[in-house]
């Protein structure tokens, strides 16, 4: 009885974590607007061509909607994860030590992402981590059963994509459980499936909606909110050195000697007040 | 019941996350601004954050080196700054949110050059705190 009571409290706490994180995300709504809004929405475009550099319009590192309650296994998987706090105290998100953010957390980052399209796959190149994600469009099947068990977990999973009308539907499985779903530390199981639906609605805009199917860790399907990408104008990414960038997205590599030795020890820990009691 | 209240309070505090690539906790006093005048002693032009180091003399002539955090390389580059925007020995005035515990660190609000021009200015929408 006592255990059930504790689980109930933890489930409530997880819901609270999600709502609070979303509220904080609203603050930054128009932060990057000036950087992507110079292109005309009326330009002609091919809805099946995502080529270009894109950036989310809002800083919101979650799936963009409150998560359903966790199962007891989900609560257990989240144990020990501590988010950063404004009132003192550092969280223990894996990326603070330059471990991969993993999917879908990196997808919900506020740095640019480039789509590169080939006949058999799309590549997503993320500025942060300088990471490549492969979305296979050559008709191969999503790994399942023994095939998936043989492949094992990957930070960014295994992804296949197909077009449904003008919407690119991407499914990903085989995710590494050590990567957090978002900044609050929500979990996802190895047997989860994540579906992304990308639709280019005009020259400037791609809309994304993400859904997590994970009955091991969640009591219901986690339906994410709509996210919006805007295309980054060419002139913002082609500098040829004289402005400090060469071309394309830049090298946002998280190097431990910069992040851990330089930033964490040199700044974060040096100036930090003690957490309030 | 008291235990539940305490637990929920603690989790509320924990849930108020900073949206950053790294942990920051309460490193800076974001409600406070201080102004420091000195000379640039080093610029670390790198991710996750560009750092400006500056030598500041106190009234007794004693020099202390301060370090100031900025946005990352790509952000500052897209705003037109580069590795040589500030030069070693250059006199600048830095307006910063200081470290919460009084250490000689801060996060840049803006840098004022000798001719009075302001660069890397958060007040003008540049150099954001992520």
According to the model, what pLDDT value does residue A221 have? 98
Show me where the domains of chain B are located.
23-124
pLDDT confidence of residue B26 = 83
| pLDDT for A203 | 92
Give the chain A residue whose CA is nearest to the CA of B27: A272
Tell me the pLDDT band of A220, cut-offs 50, 70 and 90.
Answer: very high
| pLDDT over threshold 90, residue A171 | yes
Q: Which CATH number fits domain B23-124: 2.40.50.140, 2.30.29.30, 2.40.10.120, 3.60.130.10?
A: 2.40.50.140
Tokens of A146: 């023994």
Residues 72-101 in A contacting B (C-alpha not used; CB under 8 Å): 82-93, 95-96
pLDDT average per 10 residues of sequence, chain B (130 residues): 38 36 82 97 91 95 95 83 93 96 95 97 87
Best residue of B9, B48, B106 to probe chain A, by most A CBs closer than 10 Å:
B48
Question: Is the omega angle on the peptide bond into residue A121 within 30 degrees of 0, that is, cis?
Answer: no
Q: Point out the residue among B23, B69, B74 whose CB comes nearest to the CB of A91.
A: B23
Answer whether B18 sits within 8 Å of A85, measured CB to CB.
yes
CA B85 – CA B108 distance, rounded (Å):
15
**Mutating which of B7, B16, B17, B44 best tests the A interface, going by the most A Cβ atoms within 10 A?**
B17
Which of chain A's residues have a Cβ under 8 Å away from the Cβ of B42?
none
Residues of B in contact with A183 (CB under 8 A): 17, 19
Q: What is the percentage of chain B residues whose pLDDT exceeds 90?
A: 60
Q: Does B53 lie at the interface with A, CB-CB under 8 angstroms? A: no
* Cα–Cα distance measured from residue A131 to residue A112, given in angstroms and rounded to the nearest whole number: 11
Paired residues of B92 in beta bridges? B38
pLDDT (0 to 100) of residue A229: 94
Is 70 exceeded by the pLDDT of residue A55?
Answer: yes
Asked whether the bond before A104 is cis by omega within 30 degrees of 0, the reply is: yes
Tell which residue, B19, B120, B24, B21, has the closest CA to residue A253.
B21
Gap between the Cα atoms of B104 and A270, Å rounded: 9
CB atoms within 10 A of CB A265: 11
Contact indicator for B47, A98 with CB cutoff of 8 Å? no
Residues contacting A54, CB < 8 A, separation 6+: A112, A113, A114, A115, A206, A229, A230, A231, A232
Phi-psi region of B120 (alpha: psi -120 to 50; beta: other; left: phi over 0): left
Helix, strand, coil shares of chain A, percent, nearest 5, are 25, 25, 50
Helix residue ranges, H only, chain B: 2-15, 73-78
Query: How far apart, in whole angstroms, are the C-alpha atoms of residue A259 and residue A97?
Result: 7
pLDDT tens digits, A83-134: 987 777 788 999 999 999 999 999 999 888 999 999 999 999 998 999 999 9
- Closest listed residue to residue A231, CA positions, set A12, A55, A45, A86: A55
Name which of B8, B15, B120 to mutate to probe chain A: the one with the most chain A Cβ atoms within 10 A of its Cβ.
B15
Contacts of B76 in chain A (CB under 8 A): 244
Query: Per DSSP, which regions of A58-204 are E strands?
Result: 113-117, 121-126, 131-136, 158-164, 167-173, 193-202
Of B11, B44, B78, the CB nearest to A35: B78
CA angle B43, B47, B51 (to 5 degrees): 25
Residue B101 contacts A, CB cutoff 8 Å = yes
Q: Is A159 helix (H, G, I), strand (E, B) or coil?
A: strand
SS3 assignment, position A158: strand
In angstroms, how far is CA A32 from the centroid of its own chain? Answer: 17
Q: For position A200, what pLDDT does the model report?
A: 97
Distance (Å, whole) CA A183 – CA A160? 26
List of chain B residues whose C-beta atoms are within 8 Å of the C-beta of residue A184: 15, 17
Confidence at residue A178, expressed as pLDDT on a 0 to 100 scale:
98
Quote the pLDDT of residue B16: 32
Q: What is the pLDDT of residue B21?
A: 73
Of B25, B47, B80, the CB nearest to A243: B80
Query: What's the pLDDT band for A251 if we cut at 50, 70, 90?
Result: confident
Alpha helix positions (H), A63-177:
72-78, 145-151
Q: Give the predicted TM-score (pTM) of the model.
A: 0.80
């Amino acid at each position: 009885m006592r255990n059930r009571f504790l689980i109930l409290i933890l489930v409530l706490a997880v819901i609270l974590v999600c709502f609070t994180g979303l509220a904080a995300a609203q603050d930054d709504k128009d932060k990057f607007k000036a950087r992507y809004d110079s292109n005309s929405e009326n330009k002609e475009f091919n809805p099946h061509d995502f080529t270009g550099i894109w950036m989310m319009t809002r800083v919101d590192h979650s799936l963009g909607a409150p998560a359903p309650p966790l199962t007891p296994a989900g609560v257990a998987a989240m144990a020990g994860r501590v988010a950063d706090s404004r009132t003192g105290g550092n969280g223990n998100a894996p990326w603070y030590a330059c471990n991969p953010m993993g999917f879908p957390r990196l997808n919900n980052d506020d740095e640019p992402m480039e789509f590169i399209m080939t006949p058999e796959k799309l590549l997503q190149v993320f500025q942060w981590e300088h990471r490549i994600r492969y979305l296979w469009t050559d008709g191969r099947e999503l790994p399942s059963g023994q095939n998936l068990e043989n492949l094992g977990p990957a930070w960014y999973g295994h992804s296949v994509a197909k077009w449904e009308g003008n919407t690119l539907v991407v499914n990903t499985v085989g995710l590494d459980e050590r990567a957090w779903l978002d900044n609050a530390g929500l979990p996802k199981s190895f047997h989860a499936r994540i579906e992304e639906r990308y639709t280019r609605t005009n020259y400037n805009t791609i809309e994304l909606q993400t859904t997590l199917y994970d009955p091991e860790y969640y009591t219901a399907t986690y339906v994410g909110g709509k996210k919006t990408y805007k295309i980054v104008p060419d002139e913002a990414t082609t500098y040829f050195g004289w402005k400090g960038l060469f071309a394309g997205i830049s090298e946002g590599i998280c190097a431990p000697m910069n992040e851990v030795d330089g930033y964490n020890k040199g700044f974060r820990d040096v100036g930090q007040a003690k957490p309030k009691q | 019941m008291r235990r539940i209240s305490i637990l929920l309070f603690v989790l509320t505090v924990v849930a108020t996350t900073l949206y950053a690539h790294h942990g920051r906790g309460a490193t800076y006093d974001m409600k406070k601004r201080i102004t420091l005048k000195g000379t640039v002693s080093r610029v670390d032009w790198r991710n996750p954050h560009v750092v400006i180091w500056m030598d500041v003399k106190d009234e007794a002539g004693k020099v202390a080196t301060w370090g100031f955090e900025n946005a990352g390389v790509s952000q500052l580059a897209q705003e037109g700054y580069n590795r040589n925007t500030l030069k070693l020995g250059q006199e600048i005035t830095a307006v910063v949110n200081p470290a919460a515990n009084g250490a000689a660190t801060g996060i840049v609000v803006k840098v004022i050059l000798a001719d009075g021009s302001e660069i890397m200015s958060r007040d003008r929408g540049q150099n954001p705190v992520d």
